[in-house]
Amino acid sequence: MKQFKMSGVALADENALTAMDKTLVPGTGSAVIPVALNKDGRYKKTATPTTLSAEDFAELGREVEGKIVELGQRMTCGDISAQPYVSGAKSPCKFCGYGAVCGKNY
């Protein structure tokens, strides 16, 4: 089951969380969503937040939407430069079969 556990963030809403994982009760961590509850029922704090309030989720959605619009506008203006996400020495280009198309031949 662990390999199917989702990463990312979930809405900090008890009804939504327990609907996604009916086994989630205070003092436990979920096996399927990135949320754990303290014994008092509050969300367990982790180094990387795993829950967002409805307001923060809406803000995140607006940020993502703005980024999509920005990317679409850049593409329609002719900017189709390959800008893969690179983290330190990790690059998706090492595993990608389209290097000859985008020009990033590794």
Contacts with ligand SF4 by CB under 6 A lie at 82, 84, 92-93, 96, 98-99, 102, 104
User: Please, which residue, 54 or 68, has the CB nearer to ligand SF4?
Assistant: 68
* Shortest spacing between CB 100 and ligand SF4, in angstroms: 9
Least distance from C-beta 81 to ligand SF4, angstroms? 9
Contact 1, 31 (CB under 8 A): yes
Query: In this structure, which amino acid lies at residue 77?
Result: C
Residue with Cβ nearer ligand SF4 (18 or 91): 91
Q: How far apart are CA 98 and CA 105, in angstroms?
A: 8
Measured from the CB atom, the residue of 26 and 99 that comes closer to ligand SF4 is 99
Nearest position to ligand SF4, beta carbon: 96
Tokens of 78: 């002719």
β-bridge mates for residue 11, sequence order:
52
| Least distance (Å) between residue 102 CB and ligand SF4 | 3
CA 11 vs CA 26, 57, 83: distances in Å: 17, 7, 30
33: exposed, middle or buried (C-beta count within 10 Å: 0-12, 13-18, 19+)? buried
Q: Return the number of the residue (41 or 99) whose C-beta is nearest ligand SF4.
A: 99
